[in-house]
Amino acid sequence: MAIKRYVTGFALAAALLSSAGCDRLAEVGKLAGDALNQVSGGKEEDAPVLVVTDEQILAAASVDDRALFAPMQAPIELTPINVDELLQTQRFYAVGSIIAMPKAQITEPVLEPESFALTATPEPSAASALNTDDAPVPESFEIPAGPPVAAEAPTAPAPEANRTTKDGAPAILKPGVNLPRAQVKLPSAGELRQQAQVIAPKALKEAVRDSGVQLKPEILREARKSADAAMKASTLTAQDIGDSIARKAADATAPIPKPLQVRARLDVDSAVAVRDKAGRQLEKLGLSGIVTPGEGGQMRITIGVNPTQFREGRIDLQKVETMRALFAPQKRRGQEECAGVPDMAKMKADPVLATECVVKVLQETGDYEYVEKDFIFTNQMMKKPPAAKPVTVAGYKPNDPLYSLQWHFRDNGTAVGQSAGGASFNSFWDRAKDTGSRDVVVAVVDTGLQMNHPDIKGSPNLAPGFDMVSDPIMGNDGDGRDTDPNDPGDKCDPNDAATSDSFHGTHVAGTIGVASTNNSAGVAGGAWNVTIVPVRALGRCGGKLSDINDAIRWAAGTVPGRDAQGHEVWNSKPADIINMSIGLFGPCPASMQAAINDAVAAGAIVVSAAGNARVDTQYFAPGGCQNVISVAANDARGVLTPYSNFGANVTIMAPGGDMSRDDDKDGRPDGVLSTKYMKNCTDPAKPGAKVAQCYYAYENGTSMAAPHVSAALALLKTKFPTAVPSELKTRLLQATTPRTNLQCSGLCSAYPGSTPIEGQPNMCYRPCGGRMLNLSNAQLQ
């Protein structure tokens, strides 16, 4: 039976509606309105109710506004898992790229108002800017057959000893070739001083001026104290610091604008000393490379034998072999070969060994809090098996034609129009009489967005973002970091016909609310009104840990991004909530935990997918990191999905879907329906009708579960704008329904580390947070 939506109407208008045969429901609505005026004298409050069914709304929409990708998938095979083996074979890192956190602090807090409130300052230079409210939008929406190839004019090769890459790094020579003396590129102190300059952009000056705040010395001292505390945040202290900053931001007596509170810049003298020491350690190993300190306090070390820096001649982005050379599995090797003084010849011939040895040698110096490889994260979307004028709808049900197929937003229950796995967004909209606010900012750290998606282009919910992918090959867009977070595709092997670009970030952001909701087109988002900041950190084949760390801090507004010219680009809308539907098979990297701590200390809430590996989140990141809301996935029955990770660190379950099931018997898979370009689609209003392309698709995974929680937090933040992050988390956990052990269970043989359930042979409990998102239980007082 169809879910009915109601508009102001009359029985006569209902008859017109059922028989008019108009192409667009707007025309039917006009006829209904004319009939109402005749009968009620134009008084809407005197008119009875006109029923408009979901089928009628769907039929009235254009094909572009309703076509979708909805294939059923085969159930996943629940084969036994060897966690130790998977940790060595399913965790990859970028060869030659290393992250190190010196024990000596190389950054210092900066409160930008200090630089212009008490003394005269120069106008902002081109080296420092805030991103604007005009998000970049391509002229046309075309999905190319493959990623573009950047042609380069052929040049005569440089002599072996003098060859460098475009960015000035020593070129990578082929294994077996005798290398010249090691060259370590160390930016001059002058360059670092220029990088460390934080010139207050005009927009920041105006923000303070417009706030009417008199930045007296005592206010600045207090704010600087908060900034200094945030810079020193740890896993244990980050939440308290973030709550404190949020309280001050909401307090009219201490109105330091949030973007100006917690920022970091290099302490150049300290950075130069630490960087030079690392450079000497590389030279001692006979390796070339670049040592670059960053505003986050970490150093990125790029070894000169790194294939990611290999730029001999033209780059062919189509060759998957080039991509595979970028990564190596995390295998236990190098302990003997790297012992003592590693063999220089072996390291020069073997980039993987060189990476292992540099990590080991730097760790043993005792100069660093941590040294780790630059791990590769992937999205947590389940991989597929090979193969006109809007109608006015009463209440708070959106008129988007595909909303009726979004079971995951339905009220939780078993009655008609409900779903046992639904998160009750509809109930919250009705009870709170609120659908969100653009004052609430959600940053989506992901693959970027399809900027010209018809339901996203021009959306008032889209704010400027940033492309943090540093490597042009992985970026798949021919350049490095810049202000264009458009998603050009992330397909790893362009020659593999069985795979396609995921457009993962577009799907995730659509669930939160980046698309226009209640516009009679496509799908609805959890928050109709919200500000989405896309931060692109994943590209072709995944994303580097170093890029993701920078993306987290940029999203929180604590560090700037830098474009190809080295210009600063600050996030003008620091996030209240950061969504990370990404994953790495392995424990939480220390550098990622530090980045998360910094974001939390700045007042952001970090939401993460638990992961799709069927293992405890202690073996997964960021779902297993501290100071995150780790989200497992439930299906349309309200049961933990077979693919979902589990464990003590899981906070909550939310709809992630299961494309192998159709529990609501609507003939479509029980995936999460959201924005995404696809080919080979169907028309839901005409069973069996094929459509060449569409802009909406079902997907499943913990990647789909996390944005439901981010959207729920955005709604709660709207309802309680002065609530600090820890209070919002408490309200989130109240907006849930308890789950039994059996509702979060599975075969013991399929889930290592799960707990046997008494009286249930072969069944084991998988800790799922013990609760499922259900906004009908949200406390609104």
What residues are labeled active site?
A: 446, 504, 703
C-alpha–C-alpha distance, residues 239 and 725, integer Å: 8
DSSP at 569: E
C-alpha dihedral over 639, 644, 646, 652, to 10 degrees?
-60
Taking CA 440 as the corner, what is the angle to CA 578 and CA 210, rounded to the nearest 5 degrees? Answer: 120
DSSP 94-158: EEEEEEEEESS--EEEE-TTHHHHSS--PPP-TTEEE--S-----SS----SS---------PPP
- Report the SS3 class of residue 452: coil
Q: In what helix (H) or strand (E) does residue 248 lie, and over which residues does it extend?
A: helix 238-250
- DSSP secondary structure letters along 471-516: -HHHHTSSSSSBS--B-----S-TT-TT-----HHHHHHHHHT-SP
Beta-bridge partner residues of 738: 771
CA-based nearest residue to 443, from 714, 676, 694, 632: 714
SS3 (DSSP) at 602: coil
Alpha-carbon span 647 to 756, nearest angstrom: 14
Close Cβ partners of 775 (under 8 Å, ≥ 6 residues apart): 423, 424, 425, 427, 428, 712, 715, 735
d(CA 183, CA 162): 10
Is residue 456 a contact partner of residue 546, using CB atoms and an 8 Å limit? no
Query: CB count, 10 Å around CB of 188?
Result: 9
Give CA–CA dist 565/559, Å, rounded.
Answer: 17
Is there a contact between 136 and 451 (Cβ–Cβ < 8 Å)?
Answer: yes
Q: Which two tokens stand for residue 241?
A: 């610091």
Per-residue tokens: 144 = 């190319």
Specify the DSSP class assigned to residue 457.
Answer: T
Pairing of strands 368-379, 568-570: unpaired
Pairing of strands 263-266, 4-8: unpaired
